Amino acid sequence: MACFGSIISDLLAIVVVVRKAVPSEGVSMTSRLCSRLLVRPTALLLTLLAAGGLPAEPPADGVWEANAALDKATTRTVEGLGAMQGVSFHDGKVYLYGDVWDAKPRVGVIREYTIDYQPTGRVVWLRRNDKPLLLHPTGLTWHERWGTFLGDTVNKKAVIYRFDWKRAWEDGNLDHAVLDIIDDDAAVNGCRPEFVTLEGKSYLATADYGDVHPEVRLYDPEKMLASKRTSAPGVVVHRILAGPFNQNLHWDADKGQLTCVQNVIAGRGWRLDVLDLAKAIADGRASGPGVRVRMLTFMPHDELEGYRPLEGGRGLFVTSSQKNNVVVGDVNVVAPRESRPEK
């Protein structure tokens, strides 16, 4: 009874601090599911035993109108990435990267796969000298002249890294691979770099998360690398007022189209906003006349993180979910329909 009384006393001492889900990038959906607890150890143990796990507060859900469907879809669960943050194709391989939020300490990772999504066994941990360097990788892109770039977004703060791709894979980490670190201080809410080409000149594009004046920006790579910060004079060449909740970008050089991979609301939903980049630059708005090629909003309510188009009108979608986080299917436009929260 004395022991039980001590537990009751501990329970009365519990102080629970709940951080509400907010539209900020750099906090994985899984992390957002966890309330921050300040408790005495015995009380925490009792709480966990009673509840069967940590208390959770997922991002607020909502209702939206969907106009696209993924038909003949196949799903698979890819493990070892924590909360997946994106997908890129390079030299005949598929690269998935994520925020391993449950590692101690938390750290980002890139894993290599074959074109049919089988692991090659190769991995790069985004740490340097045994300390995490990138926690929440966002946007992996390559350029023949400028090399490999990868964004990192933590608590809305954006940093862009340039690194030696070959050396990173040789070492399995970033101990000797980092070439440049750029403070993306022009960003409003995170970064997701993607190389694009406009009138024969290459730019490093990026976009903001959140819904407070989100932009797509085009940076001059040479000036950016020279200054090591994106707010320096001449680095930002073009700005486009964009749609909200941008998770990633995809550039179609043949069509001159930039796809903004988005959530529909903060932390939830699948949306692809496809823009004619030249027209977007000329107008300065994604919503300008003739700028938006199409906007596809899908039914799912989990958190879309990355997308790449495949042949035959199919698409590859990756989410931060722990299961069924890689989805491939036929992308089709459908009659508008209501998408409600999943029960």
The 10s digit of each residue's pLDDT in 250-298 is 999 999 999 999 999 999 999 999 999 999 999 999 999 999 999 999 9
CA R_g for the chain: 21
**Residue 260, helix vs strand vs coil:** strand
| Whole-number Å distance between alpha carbons of 179 and 184 | 16
Element (DSSP H or E) covering residue 31:
helix 29-32
- The partner residues of 111 in beta bridges, in order of sequence, read 96, 123
Return the closest-CA partner of residue 198 out of 285, 272, 276.
Answer: 276
Q: Which residue has the tokens 């049919």?
A: 116
**58 or 245: which leads in pLDDT:** 245
User: What are 180-229's pLDDT values in tens digits?
Assistant: 999 999 999 999 999 999 999 999 999 999 999 999 999 999 999 999 99
pLDDT digits (tens, 9 = 90+) for 80-112: 999 999 999 999 999 999 999 999 999 999 999
pLDDT-based confidence at residue 156 (cuts at 50, 70, 90): confident
CA 68: distance to chain centroid? 21
pLDDT at 155 over 60: yes
Per-position b or e across 282-299, b if 16+ CB within 10 A of its CB: ebebbebeebbbebbbbb
Q: What is the pLDDT of residue 24?
A: 62
Distance CA 193, CA 308 (A): 15
Q: Which of 62, 95, 61 is nearest to 81 (CA)?
A: 95
pLDDT in tens, 18-73: 334 445 666 654 445 443 334 344 444 433 333 333 444 678 999 999 999 999 99
pTM: 0.86
Q: How far apart are CA 57 and CA 4, in angstroms?
A: 29
Q: Which residue type is seen at 244?
A: P
The better pLDDT of the pair 310, 31 is held by: 310
Length of the chain, in residues = 343
